Structure 1
Amino acid sequence: MNKVLITPKSFQKFREKPIKMLQEKGYEVIENQTGRTLTEDELIEYGKSGVVGVIVGVDPLPASVLTNCDQLKAISKYGVGTDNIDLGKADELGIQVSKAMGTNNISVAELAVGLMFESARKLSQSVQAVKNFGWGRTIGSELTGKKVALIGGGQIGKEVAKRCRGLQMEVSIYDPYFNDDSFLIEFGVSRSESLDDLLADADFVSLHLPVTDDTKHIMNAKTLSQMKETAILINTARGELVDEKALLSALQNGEIAVAAQDVYSQEPPEQGDSLVSLPNFILTPHIGAFTNEAVERMAIVSTENLITMLQGNE
C-alpha cells in the first residue's frame, strides 16, 4: 500500500475527515507524532519507507531530502509559502508541488491588523500593568487616517488592504507584479511605483511577499532608514524578509518606533536574543494561520490537492 506522510502539527486538530479521504483512496497514512517540526534526517527515513506523497508544513524539504525520497511523487503544502521546499530539485525529479491557496489569507490578514492595534495602543503592556495590580496608562495612537504601505499585493495583502480601508486608513501597495486595477478602484487603494517614496511616507509598513533572491532582507539598513521615526513595521510573512541586525540597530537608535512580527529567521529564537528582548519589538509564535477556520481549510484543501496529484500520476 502506498504511504502518505502528514507533517504539520496543527493538522491533528482536524485530522478525521482528511485522513478518511486518503484512506478511502487506498493510502496508508503516517502522521508526525513528535509534536515538533521534523528534521531532514527524519524526513529521509520516512521517504525510504515508501512514502509517495507528503502534506508538509514548515518541515525542510531541500534537495538532499528529495533526492533520498526515491518514491516521492507529490508534495502538498499545508499553506502557501514554499520556501522550505527546493522547487527546482522537485521539478528536476518530477515531483509535483501544490499550495493550499486561499485557505489562510483571512487569518493572516486579521493578525497583521491586530499587530497594528497592538503596536499603536500597547494593549499587552496595559493588560500586564493591570495584572500586576497597577493602573498606569500608556498613551497610544489611532489607526484612522494613518498611511499604510503594503509591500506585496497578493491574496493576503489584498485582505489587509480591505480591512485597513474599513478602518479609514490610507493604503498604498508596492508590488511590481500587481495587475488588478479593479481592486484598487473598488477599495480606494493606490499603487506606488517607488518603494523609497512609499517607505518615507508610511505610518505602517506591512510585509506580504515570499522570500526570493530579490526579496530577502528587503527591509535592511537602507530601507529601514527611509522610514519615519514614528513608523511601525509589521511582518507576518517570512522572517528572512528583514535583516534582523539592521532592525535591532534601527529600533535601538529610534530610526523607527516599533516592529511587530509573527515570523523570525530562527523559530523559536535563541534564549536572550537581543532583538526579542527589546521593549519596542513584538514577536508572536507564527500564529498567522493558526485559527480554527484556517487550519480546517488547510487540512482539507492540502489533502484534496495531494489526492489530485497522486491520482493523476497513477
Structure 2
Amino acid sequence: MSQRKPALLVTAADLAPQALALLEDFEVVYAGKTPGEDDIVALCRQHDPVAIIVRYSKVGAAAIAAAPSLRVISKHGSGTDTIDKVAAAARGVEVRAAVGANAAAVAEHALALMMACAKSVPALDARMHAGYWDKATHKSLELHGRTVGLIGLGAIGLRFARMASAMGMNVIGFDPFAGDTPGFVKKTDLETLWREADVISLHCPLTADNHKLLNEATLAQCKHGVIVVNTARGGLIDEAALLAAVRSGQVLAAGLDSFCVEPMVQGHAFQTEPGFILSPHIGGVTGDAYINMGVAAARNVRSVIQPHASREAVPQH
C-alpha cells in the first residue's frame, strides 16, 4: 500500500499549473472561491494539512490549532496581515511570503490609478459616453515636475518610483526599514513627505504602528489638492477622514485598490462619491503575477517541508 501524501490546503479554488507541478508530493485540498474563516478551520480539522497556501480569507489561531501537523503557512502574495503570526510562532509554524512576485503588477496598477486621478479618466469617459464634449471646460493635472511621496520602498514601491521618475516626477519616500535606495528616490521623514508631496502612494505592510496612518491630522498637513493612491492595505487609511478630505477638496482624488472591509459592502460612501476611483483589490491580479505568486508560494512550502527541493528548477511560463 502506498503511503498517503501529506495534505496541503489552498484557501482558494485554484493554483497555477506551474505551482501545482512543484506540489506533486502533496494532496492539494482547495477551500473554494470564497472561503470564510470557519471554512478554513473545518478543512484544517478534516485534513490536518502540513502546509497552507493563503490566497483568500484569514488563517487565524483557530485554524492553526485545528492542524496539529501544520509546519508552514505560505502567502500567495506579499502581505501576511491575514495570517495570525503570533499564533503561528507559538506553534513553531513558519510564515513565508512571496515577496516581489507581484511587484510589477501592483506597481503598474498604482501608476494607472495615479494617472486616472490626475487626468480624470473615468469622469471624462462617462461624460463622453453620455454625449458631452468637455474640451473647452476641463483641465487635467500635469504630473511632470510634481512630487510623488511613497510610503514603503520595497519591491513594489521602488518599481513605482522608477516609473514615476521616468515621467519626470520628483520622488521622495519614507521607509524606516529600507537600506540604500536608487538615486532617483530621496528618502525623507513623514512630516516632509506630507508637506511636499503632490501625490501620496502607499506601498507598505499594515502593522499595529501604521494603522490609519493617513488620517484627519496627517491629511491636514498635506498640500491642498493632493492625490492619494493605495494599492497596499485598506487599514492604512482612516476612510471617514479621507471621505471628508475629498469632499472638502483637500484631496483632489483618491485611487484605491484596498479597503478596510473587503469585499466592499453595498452602500459604502466611496461608491457614490465623486473623486474616488475604485478597483476590487486586483492590483496584483494579472496572468503573469498569478503564476509568479503561485510558484513562489509553492517553493516556500517546499523550502520548509523539503529543504533541498526549493533549489530545483522552476517550471517556466
TM over 0.5: yes
- 1:97 counterpart SS class: strand
Cross-structure match for 1:222 = 217
In the TM superposition, residue 139 of structure 1 has moved relative to its aligned partner by 2.1
Which residue pairs with 2:114 in the alignment?
116
**Which residue of the partner structure matches residue 185 of structure 2?**
189
Corresponding residue number in structure 1 for 2:36:
39
Structure 1 residue 250: Cα displacement: 1.2
Give the gaps of 5 or more residues in structure 2: 309-317
State the SS of the aligned residue for 2:78: coil
- SS class of match (1:140): coil
Tell me if 1:251 matches 2:251.
no
Question: Cα distance, 1:230 vs. partner?
Answer: 1.4
Q: Secondary structure at the match of 2:168?
A: coil
Rounded Cα–Cα distance in structure 2 between residues aligned with 1:32 and 1:46? 7
1:130 aligned partner: 128
> In 2, are the aligned partners of 1:47 and 1:71 still within 8 Å (CA)?
no
1:259 to partner: Cα distance:
1.2
Partner Cα distance (1:66, 1:75) in 2: 9
Q: Give the 3-state SS of the residue equivalent to 1:257 in structure 2.
A: strand
Q: Distance in 1 between matches of 2:201 and 2:243?
A: 17
Matched, 1:160 2:171: no
Q: Which runs of 5+ in 1 are unaligned?
A: none
Q: Structure 1 residues 176 and 63, CA, compared in 2 at 3 Å: closer, same or farther?
A: same
Q: Does 1:144 align with 2:140?
A: no
For residue 8 of structure 1, report the CA deviation from its aligned partner. 3.5
Whether 1:67 aligns to 2:65 is yes
> How many Å apart are 1:296 and its aligned residue?
0.9
SS of the aligned residue for 1:51 comes to coil
Q: Note the alpha carbon deviations across 1:89-113, whole angstroms, 9 max, x for none.
A: 1011011111111211111111111
Paired AA for residue 16 in structure 1: P
SS at match of 2:306: helix
1:268 aligns with 2:272: no
Shift of 1:251: 1.3
Question: 1:302: which partner in 2?
Answer: 297
- Residues 45-85 of structure 1: CA distance to partner in whole angstroms, max 9, x if unpaired? 11112211111113211112211222211111100100000
For residues 31 and 125 of structure 2, the distance between their equivalents in structure 1, rounded to whole angstroms, comes to 37
Matched, 1:278 2:273: yes
- What are the Cα deviations for residues 114-154 of structure 1, in whole angstroms up to 9, with x where unaligned? 11110000111222222233333432111111100011111
- Measured after TM superposition, the shift of residue 276 of structure 1 is 3.0
Candidates 28, 47, 50, aligned match of 2:48: 50
Q: Report the TM-score when normalising by structure 2.
A: 0.91
Give the aligned partner of residue 9 of structure 2: 5
How far apart are the structure 2 equivalents of 1:104 and 1:144?
27
Q: Which of residues 232, 236, 239 is equivalent to 2:234?
A: 239
Is the contact made by 2:31 and 2:39 (CA closer than 8 Å) also made in structure 1? no
How far apart in 2 are the matches of 1:130 and 1:253? 26
Contact conserved, 1:8 with 1:78, CA < 8 A, in 2? no
Q: How many aligned residue pairs are there?
A: 302
Deviates more, 1:304-313 or 1:267-276: 304-313
Q: CA RMSD, aligned part only?
A: 1.7
Measure the CA separation in 1 of the matches of 2:185 and 2:21: 44
Could you report, residue by residue, the CA deviation over 1:4-35 in whole angstroms, capped at 9, with x for unpaired residues? Answer: 111235x44xx323223212x2x1111233x2
What is the aligned counterpart of 2:78 among 80, 86, 92? 80
The CA distance in 2 between the partners of 1:129 and 1:276, in whole Å, is: 18
In 2, the alpha carbon distance for the partners of 1:30 and 1:227 equals 48
* 1:18 paired residue number: 19
TM-score by length of 1: 0.91
In the TM superposition, structure 1's runs of 4+ consecutive aligned residues that sit over 6 Å from their partners are none
Q: SS of 2:73's equivalent?
A: strand
One-letter amino acid of the structure 1 residue matched with residue 224 of structure 2? E
Cα offset, 1:312, TM superposition: 4.2
- Opposite residue 38 of structure 2, the aligned amino acid is D
